[in-house]
């Protein structure tokens, strides 16, 4: 039975309430989330400077032993280098830089002298473009003092956080949304299954729920892949063989990006239906800037939603 997708006469009011709720959270809590990330980033950059002897040593040995320093090193140049710009300037394999950035490790297929050549190219670009206005000790005989190192680390950390500001906010919002749902469910005697409990999405016991649960789906060629479900909930009155309710937690700070990405949910829904049939339930938990265009698109795909400001609508899904 539809909960919100069939009520367009209520959408405008709900959109306004949702935008107000997101803005209130952003003003009160986003700065704190950003500051906490910034403090950690300063510590990470200071560690990078220590490992590279304050940028005096960006050798293949250092990069091989500490591939996770690359993000900070990219932000240490003038101007700061995007991932693809570094790849182009250094003339190195994109897979190397992307793996060092995303996984903080080296690609397994690149080894030995070939790896050293690539890493030396990266180090050469970093040293050549290191920002002398930040690293004031470069080119002088005296080593840096502690205040200079901390000041430089703070500037680089600000650059790092500025480049990932939106993900920082999204991650903070997701944690908050999951906590809100957890509180709502536990107040109704649902039991949370933490990561590592070994329970798969299709054998959750009635009255239990989990976060970030992998759901296997079939792709073309009968290939199987896992897609993540933010929340999987098995209703207390679920019948034998019933699949859990799947919910995606979504927040947005502007209307533009949600309409660019609205096809993602439709794609996920189609993959789930192709694998498990039309009885599979996949819905959204929304907070923020979701306009009528977005809602209409999701409704047309048969995807329902609950607004965070109207969280009690979860009970309409049989919870």
Confidence of residue 86 (pLDDT cuts 50, 70, 90): very high
Q: Determine the average pLDDT of the residues in 136-149.
A: 91
Query: CA 255, 260, 262 angle in degrees (round to 5)?
Result: 90
Residues facing residue 210 across a β-bridge:
232
- To the nearest whole percent, how much of the chain has pLDDT over 90? 57
How confident is the prediction for the chain on average, in pLDDT? 89
Distance CA 229, CA 268 (A): 10
Paired tokens of 170: 């999204």
pTM of the model: 0.71
Domain 8-30+166-317 has CATH 3.40.1350: yes
Confidence of residue 150 (pLDDT cuts 50, 70, 90): very high
What are the phi and psi torsion angles at 245 (to 5°)?
-75, 130
Confidence of residue 117 (pLDDT cuts 50, 70, 90): very high
- Domain ranges, ordered by start, for the chain: 8-30+166-317, 35-164
pLDDT digits (tens, 9 = 90+) for 238-290: 888 889 999 999 988 888 777 777 788 888 888 888 888 888 899 999 999 89
Handedness of CA 132, 136, 140, 146 (dihedral sign): negative
Distance CA 164, CA 8 (A): 35
Taking the CA atoms of residue 20, residue 34, residue 231 and residue 248 in that order, the dihedral angle to the nearest 10 degrees is: 50
Q: Determine the average pLDDT of the residues in 106-131.
A: 92
């Amino acid at each position: 039975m539809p909960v919100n997708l069939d009520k367009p006469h209520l959408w405008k009011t709900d959109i306004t309430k949702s935008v107000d709720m997101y803005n209130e959270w952003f003003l009160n809590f986003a700065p704190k989330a950003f500051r906490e990330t910034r403090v950690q980033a300063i510590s990470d950059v200071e560690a990078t400077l220590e490992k590279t002897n304050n940028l005096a040593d960006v050798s293949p040995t250092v990069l091989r032993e500490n591939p996770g320093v690359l993000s900070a090193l990219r932000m240490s140049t003038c101007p700061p280098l995007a991932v693809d710009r570094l790849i182009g300037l250094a003339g190195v394999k994109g897979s190397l830089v992307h793996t060092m950035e995303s996984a903080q490790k080296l690609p397994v297929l690149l080894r030995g002298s070939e790896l050293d050549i690539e890493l030396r190219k990266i180090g050469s670009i970093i040293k050549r473009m290191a920002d002398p206005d930040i690293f004031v000790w470069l080119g002088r005989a005296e080593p840096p003092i502690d205040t200079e190192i901390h000041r430089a680390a703070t500037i680089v950390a600000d650059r790092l956080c500025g480049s990932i500001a939106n993900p920082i906010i999204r991650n903070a919002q997701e944690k908050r949304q999951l906590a809100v749902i957890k509180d709502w469910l536990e107040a109704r005697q649902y039991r949370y299954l933490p990561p590592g409990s070994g329970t798969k999405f299709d054998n959750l016991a009635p009255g239990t729920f989990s976060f970030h649960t992998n759901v296997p789906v079939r792709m073309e060629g009968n290939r199987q892949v896992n897609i993540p479900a933010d929340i999987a909930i098995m209703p207390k009155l679920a019948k034998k063989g019933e699949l859990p309710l799947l919910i995606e937690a979504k927040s947005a700070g502007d209307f533009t990006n949600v309409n660019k990405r609205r096809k993602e949910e439709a794609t996920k829904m189609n993959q789930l239906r192709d694998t498990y049939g039309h009885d599979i339930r996949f819905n959204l938990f929304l907070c923020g800037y979701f306009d009528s265009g977005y809602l209409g698109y999701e409704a047309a795909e048969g995807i329902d939603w609950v607004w965070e400001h109207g969280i009690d609508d979860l009970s309409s899904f049989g919870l």
